[in-house]
Structure 1
Amino acid sequence: MTPRLAGLILALLVLIAPAARAAPVDTGHLKAELIAQTQAIAPGQTIQVALRQQIDKGWHTYWRNPGDSGEATKIAWTLPPGWSAGDFVWQPPEPQPAGPLVSYGYSGEVILPMTLTAPADAPVGQPVTLRAAAAFLVCEEICIPEDALLELTLPVQAQAAQPSGRWAGPIARALEAAPRRADLAAVFENSDQGLRLAITGAVLAGANLAGSYFFPFDGAVIDHAAPQSIDRGPQGLTLGLTASYAFQMPEPPQIMAGVLKAGDAYYEIEAQAGPLPAEAAGLGPPATRGGGLSAAGLGLPLAMVFAVLGGLILNLMPCVFPILAMKAASLAGHAHEAKAARGQGLAFLAGVLATFLTLAGVLIIAQAAGAAVGWGFQLQSPPVVAALALLMLAVALNLSGVFEIGTSLQGVGSGLAGRGGLAGAFFVGVLAVVVAAPCTAPFMAPALGWALTQNAASSLLVFAALGLGFAAPFVAVSFAPGLLARLPRPGPWMDHLRKVLAFPMYGAAAWLLWVLTLQAGPMAMARLLAAAIVLALAAWLFGLSQVRSGRLALRGGAAVLAILAVVAVLFPAYQGAALPGGESSGAVAELPYEPYSAERLAELRAQGAPVFVNFTAAWCVTCQVNEQVALARQGVAESLASTGAVYLKGDWTRKDDVIAAELARHGRAGVPLYLVYDTRGSEPVILPQILTEGLVVRALEAAAG
């Protein structure tokens, strides 16, 4: 037989030899098997094999450091002479909370790769059978040790095998998902401030670090069940940990190795004891993931889309209802004049955009100067609230017919009606934003939270998009002749409509009076009521001057009285309201609560109690509607009692830098903000801006576990 013929026969034998094969073993609560990334192996070749576990639903196995309880999966090979296998390439673990303990492990399917090397003299053409004994601790509410004797048969061929077959892709993905080493510097320090781990590196600068977590290789260095706080820095992050008994030894650890979960990426790190770098902290926690939308990960295009949607929805919020009267009145007068109606719509749009951009500019400048202000800041000022209350009263008196501005309804916006009523429509847009914008609609919160952390140009674009969304319905109607044509022709009905629409404006004035009382106390209320009487007298005198002689004297007296009324509410400075027992001002609620403080929240979380945090304000009508519709309900009260959850309320009615900073940490620029902390020390769940009783109850029950 010639050498060429012998080689051909050998190649044919290899081709018809069986491919790699193994049989799964059912251990009781999981199925285990050995799998390979190739269909064969060559002498001297190193390939990837893996232990695959398909774990029953509700059960889990353990990582290399099982945490507070459990035992890591093990494998012991029985290999022919010259063959060798490496250690597991461990996959990122999942925290497995169980009561007061936290373990680390896996559920569902997990693939643990290993390297397998054949000896250089492995006989070609003969399959090799590799055997291993695997040991698992499989747990649900109980834990059961289970074992499997596994086999993997591989053909040995002359040429190096390439990845192929059913398991090539899954093993490759497992290798890719495994924690990797990166150019990271890690330092830890155990001091009176606790155990802190600082990690810096280019891959962390500017990354989304929400949900970051440290899984140590050594089970004795940290308290696994204690929450891990996150403080971002320009070049990384610092994790606040709780030291375990290893640090109570005469020689505490000098190295702390493990896996860092940084956002969605996993890195293997080895930290040295030493001073912490300044660039790893100082920017506060990252924006939080949860049930509500977050500012984390938003870019300019998506933020603008969210802003437009938020502006549209803002038209449906309760705080906008009084302004709808002014919009309706301004349109009714031009229902059958298409050109004038379009002018009204564009003037309203201009007023809305100008005001949104002005407020945004003030916010940007104030934040650049170091002030802790957020969306709705204009209603945190008692003089502004009082002046707006007088303005609402003046508008209502005009609608009621006490005095007239111009000859049509175009002046109802403010008394600033100009030619064609465009100035009035512009001012309606201004007033709508000033009063309505402090309410945060869905989609607004993440958009504004993102905008207020960006450069000025990006921020202004997002606020402009918000204004476009807010003005869009009114502008669309003003450009829709078919809709306007459905209104009756001008006639006596318009005067009746005008007087009916005065009452929402009286209601808005009363609401602002209530807000002022909560901000600055009973004396502020008395001052505003006195100013309101003076302003009403001024309006009556002005109206009288329009129908009687002595017009100049009457108007002069009206002007003096109006100025006195405004001065009375602007000066002198308001004093803070005296609230008994340090209770938070806010909508009346039947639920027992404690005032919010960062210290109290940290204390409750350390105790493992579920916590419901409500950041609210008296001037936020959405907040007050949620209080009555969703929070002040028997179901919520019973859920708080049954779960042991503690209700903390943060009141932002008056300016509060602590609350402003907390809102910013969660990617928000205004209220409402609802956070639910669970018993496991996880990041809080952010609830939507519009609550229901059932939604709150379900969130509390989930937090209690």
Structure 2
Amino acid sequence: MAALMAAALAAQAAGPLARALGTAPADPAGPGAVVETPQLRAELVAHAPEGLGPGKPMWLGLKLQHQPHWHTYWKNPGDSGLPTRLAWTLPPGVEAGPIDWPVPHRLRVGPLVNYGFEGELLLPVALSLPADWRGETLEVSLRADWLVCKEECIPDGGDFQIRLPAQGALAAHRAAFEASWSQRPQAVVGAQATARHQPAPAGAASVPVDDGHGPRAAPLDPGALALRIEGLPAALQGRPVELYSETEALIDHAAEPALRWTGGVLEAAWPLSPQRSSSPASLPVVLRVLPGPAGGEARLLRVEAALSGLPPVEAVELPPALQAALAGAAAVPPPAEPVALSLALLLGALLGGALLNLMPCVFPVLSLKALALAQHGEDRRALLGGGLAYTAGVILSFLLLAGVLLALRAAGEQLGWGFQLQSPAFIAGMAVLFTLIGLNLAGVFEIGGLLPAGLGGLRARHPRVDDALSGVLAVAVASPCTAPFMGAALGAAVALPAAQALLVFALLGLGMALPYLLLSAMPGLARRLPRPGLWMVRFKGLMAFPMFATVVWLGWVLGLQTGVEGLVGLLGVLLALAFAAWAWATPWAGGLARTAWRGLGLLLLAVSLGWAWPGWQAGAGSVAAPTAAAQPSASADWQPWSAEKVVAARAAGQPVFVDFTAAWCVTCQYNKRTVLADAAVLAAMDGQRVLKLRADWTMRDAAITAELGRLGRSGVPVYVFFPGRPEAQPRLLSELPSREEVLQALAAL
């Protein structure tokens, strides 16, 4: 049964690995034409109404379908963000033009204004073929990169490939191209536009600075551009207008320009950005002319304004004190120094793996191994063989998990230790597996009785397979825990070359298996164990309850990830599973009754899975949000983590404590209810005005994963103090901090 966990892990890894490598499932448009992420669906499409050929109208396009409330950015993203970028790979002589951008919408985020798109978007690109092109097909490859944002932002992208036939029209996406073209601005023939720098008025606010050339007053207001546009169509004059600058880092996007019509001339005072980084000679301006009081259709126009009087951007050398303050205000420490493989690191991995056996998430598997010791106590050869097989299963599982993790990280995925537990489907699979194990231990069914004769005979001839699979199971359930010494070893391993990283993971596995391996090799063990008898049957039944307790915990985690519906779906699946196990194990009098009851059990199981699966999948596509796991049980002064909160607090001289946690992390939950809820610890934090933040990693969160990496860690729990002095380095605590350790760290702030 533990083999189910390896299969579930492989299925969990296959999706993000395929997406990261650009091999996500494609639709009929061609292999590699579609990339899907939890935030959007991207498709490379083509439009050639007259077919392919030199001189014929042809376009390619990246079609983006955003999930609700998610958006990507325009060519000028505004106050923040990044534009979508396309890099084409085309046959010799074939050329792709620039993106024919539609006009964006204003996206206001607090005091910032961005320009971007929600819903469905098509970015068209004109395609031209050389005069001597005579191909039968045209192969096009594209690398697209985008930044997709809601409350948080995720840099993402994909690789696309399509093969276009030369014969026949390509017009399946005509409507999407025409909709995009209807939103592109049109040049105004005969229009004249100028923009002149208008300095801030005398006496405007300024700040004293000393840039090494003596003290002076630097104006806080950079002034504005006096924009003047003549020659717009008479039907549009006098109507309200929205302005968009195609040039980045020039205009203050959050400041509304002062617009007025003077006769047929549109005049605007357009405030400049205090962070202006360029002094261009011209300014492309997009106008969205809105309906006026008398009605009329909205129009999208574009003019090129000649710029004059704009002073050049000067590089100013800041005084040393200001440089130090700005450098210290960073939200995160600088990247860790390159990691080197050392004896201390290897010994730490071995010791961390051994201490993992003391973590509560491993207790259910330890109960199974205790049962195995009791069953084979008098057979030293069987005992030693089982220990070696268990060790092999543990080490190979660590290596498999490490290989998947390293491959996904190398492909650009933001993942860490325990990443598979961020999938509700994986959590549900573990709950199903532990329910089956519990039912087996309770005597509801015997595995041998459910297997075909061939498989049953194979299992009897190779009894060590069960021991190896128990090692696989041990690693699967150990994922929620991080033991002392283990966090540093995991953080270092993901920064090492692949071969050295796998060695660290192998030693973690050896350390975890070592206690049981030593017990199985002890020659005097058999004399200290009771003789086989009825007590073993009772002990086996007793061991079912740790399995069921694990199912309760997994159900709690799933409920936090997917809500009540996901949890109820799991309970329905487990009920159907128990009925199916009973139906298959019951010795029915006739073949017809046996077939009917077993068929009913399988039918109920299939129906319950079909009902529950959509809820689990919907949870898998979620981006991390604060859950109950991120909230303290008896305190309201913990806040959800964000890098901005850390920056703001440290800049104000306030120290920060961050608890990186997850609902599926047993060690995290233990620490939250003990040392982090300790009255003396909380009083000491309040006494020093410590801002307490929780970073909830229950679901995938790229920002938290990146922060863990910068701290030299790849899993939770992680506890870190950021001193109130911005130039001071953060202080990491151990995975199981004591009250004294936390108080000492507080005293050192």
Provide TM-score, normalisation by structure 2. 0.53
Superposition pairs of residues 70-219 of structure 1, within 5 angstroms: none
Contact (CA 8 Å) 2:482, 2:716: kept in 1 or not?
Answer: yes
Give, in whole Å, the separation in 2 of the partners of 1:526 and 1:321.
Answer: 26
**Which residue matches 1:597?**
642
Contact conserved, 2:339 with 2:495, CA < 8 A, in 1? no
Going from structure 1 to structure 2, the CA distance change for 1:516 and 1:582 (only over 3 Å counts) comes to: closer
Residue in 2 that maps onto 1:363: 405
Query: 1:485 deviation in Å?
Result: 2.8
Say whether 1:689 aligns with 2:735: yes
Moved more, 673-682 or 521-530: 673-682
Indicate whether 1:305 and 2:347 are aligned. yes
Give 2:5's aligned residue.
none
Give the deviation of 1:446 after TM superposition.
Answer: 1.4
- Whether the aligned pair in 2 keeps the contact of 1:612 and 1:700 (CA below 8 Å) is no
Per the alignment, residue 347 of structure 1 pairs with: 389
Could you report, residue by residue, the CA deviation over 1:562-605 in whole angstroms, capped at 9, with x for unpaired residues? 55555555446533499999566347432320000000110001
Matches of 1:418 and 1:559, distance apart in 2: 27
Question: Counterpart of 2:586 in 1: which secondary structure?
Answer: helix
Assess if the C-alpha contact under 8 Å between 1:314 and 1:440 holds in 2: yes
Q: Verify: 1:649 aligned to 2:694, yes or no.
A: yes
Does the C-alpha gap of structure 1 residues 630 and 621 become closer, same or farther in structure 2, counting only changes over 3 Å? same
Note the 1:207-286 alignment, pairs <5 A: 245-246=210-211, 249-250=215-216, 285-286=334-335
Identity %: 43
- Letter of the 1:376 partner, please give it: G
Give the Cα separation in 2 of the matches to 1:415 and 1:695: 55
Deviations 1:379-418 (A, max 9, x none): 000000011011111111111111112399xxxxx99955
Are 1:398 and 1:404, in contact at CA under 8 Å, matched by a contact in 2? yes
Cα distance in 1, alignment partners of residues 457 and 712 from structure 2: 39
Structure 2 vs 1, CA of residues 257 and 627 (structure 1 numbering), >3 Å: closer, same or farther? closer
Q: Paired residue for 1:530, among 572, 588, 597?
A: 572
Q: Deviations over 1:486-523 (max 9, x none)?
A: 11121100011011111111110000000011111111
User: Quick check: 1:503 aligned with 2:545?
Assistant: yes
Would the alpha carbon gap of residues 391 and 586 (structure 1) be closer, same or farther in structure 2, given more than 3 Å must change?
Answer: farther
Q: Tell whether the 8 Å contact from 1:438 to 1:670 is kept in structure 2 after alignment.
A: no
Which whole-Å CA distance do the structure 1 matches of 2:524 and 2:334 have between them?
Answer: 52
Q: Does 1:390 align with 2:435?
A: no
1:658 paired to 2:703: yes
Q: Is the 8 A contact 1:620 1:672 kept in 2?
A: yes
Structural mapping, 1:524-673, within 5 Å: 524-545=566-587, 550-551=593-594, 553-562=596-605, 569-571=612-614, 573-576=616-619, 582=626, 585-586=629-630, 588-591=632-635, 592-673=637-718
Q: After TM superposition, give the deviation of residue 286 of structure 1 in Å.
A: 2.7
- 1:443 maps to 485
Shift of the alpha carbon at 1:483? 1.8
Do the aligned partners of residues 536 and 602 (structure 1) sit closer, same or farther apart at CA in structure 2, a change above 3 Å counting? same
Residue 249 of structure 1 aligns with an amino acid whose one-letter code is P
Counterpart Cα distance in 2 of 1:546 and 1:342: 40
Secondary structure at the counterpart of residue 545 of structure 1? coil
**CA deviation digits over 1:589-624, x for unaligned, max 9?**
323200000001100010111111000001110011
Deviations 1:454-480 (A, max 9, x none): 221111111111111111111111111
Q: 1:469 aligns with which of 499, 511, 526?
A: 511
User: Per the alignment, do residues 246 and 648 of structure 1 end up closer, same or farther by CA in structure 2, a change over 3 Å counting?
Assistant: same
Residues in 1 aligned to 2:506 and 2:318: alpha-carbon distance in whole angstroms: 49
Shift of 1:296: 6.3
- Assess if the C-alpha contact under 8 Å between 2:340 and 2:496 holds in 1: no
1:494 matched to 2:536? The reply is yes
Corresponding residue number in structure 2 for 1:424:
466
Contact 1:296-1:667 within 8 A present in 2 as well: no
Q: CA deviation at 1:634?
A: 1.4
Tell me the residue number matched to 2:501. 459
Q: Give how far 1:245 is off.
A: 4.3
Q: In structure 2, give the amino acid aligned to 1:461.
A: L
Report if aligned partners of 1:372, 1:657 keep a CA contact under 8 Å in 2.
yes
User: Equivalents in 1 of 2:422, 2:460: separation in Å?
Assistant: 32
Change (3 A) 1:302 1:579: closer
427-436 vs 566-575, which moves further: 566-575
SS for the counterpart of 1:481 is: coil
Residues 303, 579 of structure 1: CA spacing in aligned structure 2 closer, same or farther, 3 A cutoff?
closer
In 1, Cα distance between the equivalents of 2:441 and 2:700? Answer: 34
| 8 A contact 2:559–2:567 mirrored in 1 | yes
Note if contact 2:424-2:619 (Cα within 8 Å) is conserved in structure 1. Answer: no
Indicate the SS of the match to 1:614: strand
Conserved? CA contact 2:393–2:469, under 8 Å? yes
Q: Work out the CA distance in 2 between the residues paired with 1:346 and 1:422.
A: 9
Q: Is the 8 A contact 1:396 1:503 kept in 2?
A: yes
| Paired letter, 2:696 | D
1:311-350 equivalence runs, <5 A = 311-350=353-392
- CA distance in 2 between partners of 1:500 and 1:548 (Å): 33
Q: Is the 8 A contact 2:657 2:692 kept in 1?
A: yes
Contact between 1:389 and 1:512, CA under 8 Å: does it hold in 2?
Answer: yes
- Report the alpha carbon displacement of residue 338 of structure 1 after superposing the two structures with TM: 1.0
Letter in 2 for 1:285: P
TM-superposed deviation, 1:421:
2.8
Q: Helix, strand or coil for the counterpart of 1:675?
A: strand
- Tell me the CA shift for residue 339 of structure 1: 1.2
Cα 1:569–1:579, aligned 2, differ >3 Å: closer, same or farther? same
Unaligned runs of 5+ in 1: 1-191, 194-242, 260-270, 272-280, 288-294, 409-413
Deviation at residue 330 of structure 1 after TM alignment = 2.3
Q: Which amino acid aligns with 1:574?
A: Q
Structure 2: gaps spanning 5 or more residues = 1-78, 81-207, 218-313, 324-329, 451-455
Q: State the structure with more CA Rg.
A: 1
Amino acid paired to 1:612: F
Instruction: Return the alpha-carbon distance in structure 2 between the equivalents of residues 405 and 547 of structure 1.
Output: 21
Paired residue secondary structure (1:315): helix
Residue 559 of structure 2 corresponds to residue 517 of structure 1: yes
Deviations for 1:41-95, whole angstroms, at most 9, x for unmatched residues?
xxxxxxxxxxxxxxxxxxxxxxxxxxxxxxxxxxxxxxxxxxxxxxxxxxxxxxx
Mapped partners of 1:370, 1:333: distance in 2: 47
Residues in 2 aligned to 1:511 and 1:688: alpha-carbon distance in whole angstroms: 24
* CA shift for structure 1 position 640: 2.2
Alpha-carbon distance between aligned partners in 1 of 2:675 and 2:652, rounded to the nearest angstrom = 27
Per-residue CA deviations over 1:158-196 (Å, capped at 9, x if unaligned) read xxxxxxxxxxxxxxxxxxxxxxxxxxxxxxxxxx99xxx
Q: CA deviation at 1:701?
A: 3.3
* Deviating more after overlay: 473-482 vs 248-257: 248-257
Query: Do the aligned partners of 1:386 and 1:569 also contact (CA within 8 Å) in 2?
Result: no
